Amino acid sequence: MTTEKTVYVVDDDEAVRRFLRGLIESIGLGVKTYASAQEFLDGYEVGSPGCLLLDIRMPDMSGLELQAELRRREIGKPVIILTGHGDVKVAVHAMKAGAVDFIEKPFNNELLLHGIQKAVVGSLHSSGTRVRRQEILHRLETLTTRERQVLGLVVAGETNTGVARHLGISDKTVEIHRAKVMEKMQAKSLAELVKMATVLEVK
């Protein structure tokens, strides 16, 4: 058993694991890497504090299945999900299943490390979250009804075309609404928008 703060990296890509190891070690955290969900579950030791960095696509078990397994085994580590482009739907599911953050590959190193540090410290569950919730609620109130509908569909993983079909409006109009939503919510990326929506549990 170790008390060093450890980041458990589960990613089936060897090159990505090697890079993440170097990057995370550079901020003085311990790193353990696993090529699959099963490998992690087999090698996991109770007690070492830290967080999980989980690629959502894995050969043996999906990120969601692993999250369920972690709950079953009462491994209460904060989970950060790594996704590829356009995996919004799975990311939303992962967040609802309790992931603390999700980060798109390729990522900004600083953002990733910041997310990891936050997760390791567990600051996400501090009172900071409540304050942030209020802030986001205020922004949400500035949206029109239509913009709210667009927000709901976008964070549910719909493409612009999907949103257009649902609402019976053109793709172009959706784009305009979507830009407006991002602006009013002060979201720099779709990932950020989804995170805000998860905080509020916007359906």
Partner 1 sequence: MDQHGAVTHFLGISEDITQRKRAEEDARRHRNELAHTGRVIVMGEMATSLAHELNQPLTVISGCAQVCLDKLRSGDGTSEQMLDSVQQVAEQAQRASEIIRRTRSFLRKEEDERRPIDLNDTIRGVEDLLRVDAREQRATIDLGLVEGLPPVWADFFQIQQVVLNLAHNGIEAMAGSDSSQRHLAIQTLAVDGGSVEVAVRDTGHGIPSENLTRVFDPFFTTKPSGLGMGLAICRSIVEAHGGRLWAASNEGMGAVFRFALPSGTAHP
Rounded CA separation 79/98 (Å): 8
CB of 129 to partner 1, least distance (A): 28
User: Which is closer to partner 1, CB of 86 or CB of 98?
Assistant: 86
Rounded CA separation 158/164 (Å): 9
Residue length, the chain? 203
How many other C-beta atoms are found inside a 10 Å radius of the C-beta of residue 165?
14
CB of 106 to partner 1, least distance (A): 4
The residues of the shown chain that bind partner 1, judged by CB under 8 A, are 12-13, 15-16, 18-19, 22-23, 26, 57-62, 65, 84-85, 105-110
CB of 16 to partner 1, least distance (A): 6
How many other C-beta atoms are found inside a 10 Å radius of the C-beta of residue 149?
17
User: Which is closer to partner 1, CB of 84 or CB of 98?
Assistant: 84
Longest dimension (CA), the chain: 58
- Under 8 Å between Cβ of 40 and 65: no
Rounded CA separation 131/104 (Å): 25
- 51 exposure class (CB count in 10 Å sphere: 0-12, 13-18, 19+): buried
User: Which is closer to partner 1, CB of 44 or CB of 107?
Assistant: 107
User: Which is closer to partner 1, CB of 66 or CB of 154?
Assistant: 66
CB of 151 to partner 1, least distance (A): 25
Give the pairing type, strands 50-55 and 6-10.
parallel
CB of 59 to partner 1, least distance (A): 6
User: Which is closer to partner 1, CB of 61 or CB of 176?
Assistant: 61
